[in-house]
Structure 1
Amino acid sequence: AVGARANLTRVPCNLTNIDQPPGGSLSVIDETGTRHHLDGLIAADGGDGPGKQHVTSGQRGADMGAKLAMRAQIPLHSLPAHFALPASQLWLGRGVHVVHYPIGDDLNLVATLPASRARADWQQTVMPATSPLAVLGDPAINWARTSISSAFTAPCWRRGSVVLAGDAAHSMPPHLAQGAGQGLQDAASLLAWLDGTDNIDTAFAGYARERATDVSRIVQKADISGRIMAMSGPAARLRDLALNLGGPRLMQSWLAEVWAADPRLV
């Protein structure tokens, strides 16, 4: 969509090198050795791509090896009817939290827990027979194990005519479900800036300034949310008390900035 509206060209290849000499023009080299001359490059190439490495000199968020997300999709017809309710459900436990919501005919399910508890019997310990989620402890459920990275926002989003977007610019733990959402916000902001000027450097500078400011708060909030959800012992009991006292208004206030539409991008 950005390419169609802003007269951009997508180069369908894997980049191996970015060449941008001081005062010179930008070019990239692909895996076949072909050089492509560019006016600008939007690098949405994840945490380890050449665009990210070029702009940030290799900086990235550290991997949180002590924390895992276990993901699964389960046909709703095999579960009790309440799992099909059109809402996102959050269950907080002792150092563990579970989120589930329906997508089409399936239930999307994510359990976040310390790696030390991800043993062969983790389903039975996290969702025992006495738990409202006991049905999810079925050993036949196929779970995908994913490491959770720490929150990271690139200290610099732009280097000359190369600018970062998506996970290359900001990675965040999944505790606000905003990884992909903030990437879409990046695309909308880029589109607005590129539509507003014929000067790519001006557009990239405006986009980087705008999004770096906006997304840093969301990344920080996702990180804090994860820390709150991971509490156990007395801290968890205080958390639960605060949630009970605050009620829906507390959660709505915490999420207002995340879900509010940006009038500049609508």
Structure 2
Amino acid sequence: MAARHIAIAGAGIGGLTAALALARAGFAVTLLERAPALEEAGAGVQLAANATRCLQSLGVYERVAEHAVFPQSFEVMDGRRGARLTGAPMGAQAEARFGGPFLVIHRADLQAALLAAVRETPAITLRLGHAVESFEAEGDGVTVHLADDAPLHAAALIGADGLRSMVRLALHPEAKPSFRHRAAWRATVPAQALPAHLAVPATRLWLGPGAHLVSYPVQAGRAVNLVAVTPDAREAHGWSLEGAPGELLSHYPDWSADARALLAAPERWLRWALFDLDPLPVWGAGPVTLLGDAAHAMPPFLAQGAAQAIEDAVVLADCLDDAGDIPAALRRYEALRQPRTARVQRAARGMDRIYHLAGPARLARDLVMRARSGNAVLERYRWIYDWRP
């Protein structure tokens, strides 16, 4: 069975999607997850047309869409004045323009939808509480050594084990995550706890000097997801580090009443130190490769982290489908994905600078945004949204 058996390290969004894609390509998949249970992590996820088309191709889009919200507009706001700088219609117009729907969803809902599909797929074995400790390539594949269990033999190992990837560390010990000196503060609040004009089905990006705020509806509109990004010198990482609301508000002293109302609404904030990776010149070797954040962790400023992992999964399965030479197929996958993901990484880093401009540069940016239509802002990223596997 090893010739058609793939092992995946990590059962996050990328690992779950890869398992589904590989099973559809005819592989038996063992999905290995260190955690003893898959629990809610993070907050909201934005999925643009490039990602939703992939979910459609895998037959899981309808399951995901049941719990999603389809924003009817995208707006960029002046965080201090509260005025709209630019915006564009979304919904059906954006879907027609880019050939696929744009949606927002709570990360737990997305994970639950993918997990349900995985559990219904006989070709996928999910093994929770199984940490990959090491691996070694052999003539006919790879042997994966697990903590407290017998070794596992497979034709290939896919490292979808996130920013702190053990698989990447073994392949590229020199490739260290880069701290961006920023933190993302995340919270979800009931929509009914906010003024009606702040709980509309829109994605809003609030810009100000040194910090920004994103708000959009999740959980079928019953809640609003908030992400506030501020300067931060603390490198402690993790999804569930408590953040003091007073500290967060101190980064937004002169912001508009609406922005501060959003920031004051949550009873609890979780602080997440932002790290990314410099683009890797090489991802894998032999029967081993990387996927998602393990290969190309990026700042969240283009909302493409999950989308790029989903793209990876579809391309990986396509390359391995009917492949006689597994290592050669993995190198083809890497050659297809590396230029695109590196470009998205660089673009996301560039938005870090643009979002957080201060002084005259901020005023100049805002003037340009007011003069430019929101459709032009979306068109700037057509190269992202138009992608098809």
Normalized against structure 2, the TM-score is what? Answer: 0.62
Q: Distance in 2 between matches of 1:151 and 1:234?
A: 31
The gaps in structure 2 that reach 5 residues or longer are 1-19, 32-126, 234-242
Q: State the match for 2:204 in structure 1.
A: 89
Farther off after superposition, 12-21 or 236-245:
12-21
Counterpart in the other structure of 1:221: 347
Cα 1:194–1:91 shift into 2, 3 Å: same
Deviation at 1:16, TM superposition (A): 0.7
1:220 is paired with a residue whose SS is helix
Given that 1:83 and 1:102 are in contact with CA atoms closer than 8 Å, whether structure 2 keeps it comes out as: no
Q: Secondary structure at the match of 1:169?
A: helix
Cα distance change of structure 1 residues 122 and 201 upon mapping to structure 2, 3 Å threshold? closer
- 1:96 Cα shift? 1.1
What SS class does the counterpart of residue 321 from structure 2 fall into?
Answer: helix
Quote how far apart the aligned CAs of 1:32 are.
Answer: 1.8
Aligned counterpart for 2:187 among listed residues 68, 72, 77: 72
**Amino acid across the alignment from 1:71:** R
* Aligned partner letter, 2:197: H
Contact 1:56 1:155 in 2 (8 A): no
Task: Map 1:199-238 onto structure 2 (within 5 A).
Answer: 199-238=325-364
Structure 2 residue aligned with 1:112: 229
d(CA) in 2 for partners of 1:127 and 1:136? 13
Quote how far apart the aligned CAs of 1:121 are: 4.3
Q: Does residue 192 in structure 1 map to residue 309 in structure 2? A: no
- DSSP-derived class of the 2:301 partner: helix
Aligned partner (choices 179, 203, 214) of residue 99 of structure 1: 214
Kindly provide the CA deviation profile for residues 145-189 of structure 1, in whole angstroms up to 9, marking residues without a partner as x. Answer: 111113432221111110100111000000011111100000010
TM-score (norm 1): 0.89
CA RMSD of aligned residues (A): 2.2
Given that 1:40 and 1:162 are in contact with CA atoms closer than 8 Å, whether structure 2 keeps it comes out as yes
Q: Distance in 1 between matches of 2:247 and 2:176?
A: 33
Deviations, residues 51-78 of structure 1 (Å, cap 9, x unaligned):
11122224133122x2111111010011
> Contact 1:95 / 1:232 at 8 angstroms: preserved in 2?
yes
Amino acid at match of 1:30: L
Secondary structure at the aligned position of 1:134 is classed as helix
Is 1:3 paired with 2:22? yes
Q: Distance in 1 between matches of 2:356 and 2:347?
A: 14
3-state SS in 2 of match to 1:209: helix
Instruction: Confirm or deny: 8 A CA contact 1:166 1:183 kept in the other structure.
Output: yes
> What letter matches 2:151 in structure 1?
R
SS in 2 for 1:98: strand
Change beyond 3 A, Cα 1:130–1:98: closer
Aligned amino acid, residue 101 of structure 1: Y
**Runs of 5+ consecutive residues of structure 1 not aligned to the other structure:** none
Check the 8 A contact 1:18/1:50 in 2, yes or no: no
Give, as a single letter, the amino acid of the residue that structure 1 aligns with 2:229: T
Aligned length: 260
Following superposition, the deviation at residue 102 of structure 1 comes to: 0.3
Letter in 2 for 1:257: W
Q: Counterpart amino acid of 1:149?
A: F
How much does 1:139 deviate? Answer: 6.6
Bigger shift: 46-55 or 69-78? 46-55
User: Structure 2 CA distance, aligned partners of 1:129 and 1:235?
Assistant: 18
Q: Does 1:160 align with 2:286?
A: yes
**Take 1:155 and 1:184, find their aligned partners in 2: how far apart are those partners?**
21
CA distance, structure 1, for counterparts of residue 266 and residue 290 of structure 2: 41
Asked if structure 2 preserves the Cα contact closer than 8 Å seen for 1:96 and 1:230, the reply is yes
SS in 2 for 1:37: strand
Provide the rounded CA distance (Å) in 2 between the counterparts of 1:102 and 1:190: 32
For the residue of structure 2 that corresponds to 1:159, the secondary structure is: coil
2:141 is equivalent to residue 122 of structure 1: no
Tell me the alpha carbon deviations over residues 5-57 of structure 1, each in whole angstroms, 9 at most, x when there is no partner.
23132153211111126x67521211025222221111111122321112222
Q: Distance in 2 between matches of 1:8 and 1:154?
A: 29
